[in-house]
Amino acid sequence: MSQAESAIALVDCNSFYASCERVFRPDLLRTPIVVLSNNDGCVIARSAEAKVLGIKMGEPYFQIRQKLRQHGILAFSSNYALYGDMSQRVMTILEGMAPVLEVYSIDEAFADLTGMPGSLEALGREMRARVLRCTGIPVGVGIAQTKTLAKLANRAAKQWQRQTGGVVDIRQPAKRDKLLRAMDVSEVWGIGRQMTAHLADMNIRTAWELAQSDAWTLRSKFSVVVEKTARELRGTPCLALEEQVPPRQEICCSRMFGKRLHELAPIREAVATYAARACEKLRTQHSLCKKVRVSIRTGMFNPDEPKFAKGIICELPYPTDDTRLITKAAAEGLELIYRAGFAFSKAEILLLDLRQRGEFTDDLFVATPPEAAERVMGVMDAINARWGRGTMHPAGVPAQPDWGMRREMMSPSYTTRIEQLWRVT
Amino acid sequence: MSCTILGPLSSSSVSLPFYSFRVPAGFPSPAQDHIEAEISLDELLDLRAPHMYLVRISGDSMIDAGLFDGDLAIVNRAMQGRPGLIVIAALNGDALVKRLAKEGEQLVLRAENKAYAPRYVLEGDELLIWGVVTHSVHCHVPG
């Protein structure tokens, strides 16, 4: 028996953050919406209506405030508790419909549909209908032989939503070639702005032209990645579905403060808070770290402010995931790099030199992690998982910091906080 | 009215450490061989399913259906709303909890409190059935 032809679907939520904001606000069905980055900095998501009105990704909020008011566009602070919960719901539904699912980001997933019986386009429509019914989030589905083609098919499903009903299957060569000819090479997954320019020099302007290019030339001129992209566009799978994300090699927690900080004490609080969060991430992937880098900086764009940025790497006595140990090291590092007289805007904690538990060999002559510490951390994580983040925290982390993130237009956490549930009359 | 006692409830499906009885010397617990899986409200009400939502009831328009101000409603979005069911409806953008009914071809959103008139869904009205209320949680302890 010949092997079944591969079939990959890319399911992608339409304007995900904006769509999440609408789920519990049916009055905003047709209202243009934008969602802002941390500290209400700049636009990171737009509803279709906001796109039509000419709002661009990355535009700073303070520059477009007037324009938003003028067009009746509603701005939201990012509400990651809501987006995370809605994402989990969408992915759970998709997992129930496809044998293998790779969650690629908060709002998109690849599904391996190879060998599924029946019409895959019908299955795509059913995915779309079920996610919409169960969550209120509209999705687009692109189906093809490879991940790169599925991405392209998904773009077509979005671009020609009305004609396609949000589902496009390009496994037939005629359909695939038609789409490849219609798509600019910059629309291809993994082809960035610089690469687009390089390819233009070689007269490669459409996805079709990239697909027709000689694979070996692409590899020798650019990289194996571009070569694989071209092969994938021709329908040869080169990128496998990754069901399990490998543990990260470094963990970062960095945020802008809600306001400028001058004194050491509140910065120390912020550093302790970020360190505690980074340690939680560390323990979730069951890793230990041997180094922690702490850095602080002032604003970098205001010409009237004196600028300063400095970081330091602190060595830990042994590979650990103990919040207390890591926070202590970070606080000591901070003392060394802090300078009075500056208006600091951001701190960052980076956990480095990560390894999996049991990977390091005990050195007989250095201190080893006490077993009690592990149990303390386990209990702390369990308590915070049960009663909400921050229920139990090291004393250096304040419960309600006045330097916290600015989120002045945030919607309630409708699905994750009992006191903020949706109210109906 | 009568009631049947179901047995112990586990707090949720969040996994908690399980401590087995350990009696190093002496008698083993007589209950040890009779431990059964605990009853979970999460499972009973299907709360962890991706299509289930919790919603807070506000106001007294549904008191005759046993839904009171401040109650928690458990809402199933996957269920088709049909006449006879209590639904969360978005009528012209307003979120309402009412009983869906049909008079001939006419859709009606009925309050369950004589003080409130039924709301007939007219041409030009935009009605979206958001979900179906499957259960509700009411606190019986005053204060």
Do B50 and A135 lie within an 8 Å CB cutoff? Answer: yes
Contacts of A418 in chain B (CB under 8 A): 54
Average pLDDT in the B105-129 region? 94
B20/A290: higher pLDDT: A290
Q: How confident is residue A413, by pLDDT bands cut at 50, 70 and 90?
A: confident
Average pLDDT over residues A409-424: 87
Average confidence (pLDDT) over A375-389: 79
**B61 an active-site residue?**
yes
Cα-Cα-Cα-Cα dihedral sign, residues A360, A365, A367, A372: positive
The SS3 of residue A417 is: coil
Asked whether the CA dihedral A191, A197, A199, A200 is positive or negative, the reply is positive
How buried is residue A408: exposed, middle or buried, by Cβ count under 10 Å (0-12/13-18/19+)? Answer: exposed
CB contact under 8 A, A26 and B88: no
Please give the Cα distance from A171 to A6 (Å, whole number): 9
The pLDDT assigned to B15 comes to 44
* A15 and A405 Cβ atoms separated by less than 8 Å: no
Distance CA B137, CA A291 (A): 49
Asked if pLDDT for residue A410 goes beyond 90, the answer is no
Question: For A42-57, what is the mean pLDDT?
Answer: 94
End-to-end Cα, chain A, rounded Å: 60
Listing DSSP states for A120-175 in one string gives HHHHHHHHHHHHHHHH---EEEEEESSHHHHHHHHHHHHHTHHHHTTEEE--SHHH
* Identity of residue A221: K
Q: A-B interface: how many C-beta pairs under 8 angstroms?
A: 66
The dihedral sign for the CA sequence A384, A387, A388, A390: negative
Write down the catalytic residue from B10, B98, B102, B136. B98
Query: What percentage of residues in chain A have a pLDDT greater than 90?
Result: 56
Contacts of B69 in chain A (CB under 8 A): none
Are A6 and A145 a contacting pair, CB within 8 Å? yes
Give the pLDDT mean for A151-170: 93
Cβ burial of A219 (10 Å; 0-12, 13-18, 19+) is middle
Single-letter amino acid code for the residue at B143: G
* Annotated catalytic residue B114: no
Tell me whether residues B90 and A26 touch, CB distance under 8 A: yes
| Predicted pLDDT of residue A267 | 94
Among the listed residues A112, A402, A95, the one whose alpha carbon sits nearest the alpha carbon of residue A263: A402
Check whether B66 has a pLDDT greater than 60.
Answer: yes
The answer to pTM > 0.80 is no
- What confidence category does residue B33 fall into, taking pLDDT thresholds of 50, 70 and 90? low
- Mean pLDDT, chain A, rounded, equals 88
**Does A200 contact B at CB distance below 8 Å?**
no
pLDDT band of residue A149 (cuts 50, 70, 90) is very high
Beta bridge partners, A251, equal: A351
Kindly report, residue by residue over A247-304, the tens digit of the pLDDT: 777 888 888 888 889 999 999 999 999 999 999 999 988 889 988 999 998 877 777 7
A392 versus A323: which is more confidently predicted? A323
CB proximity A30 to B under 8 Å: no
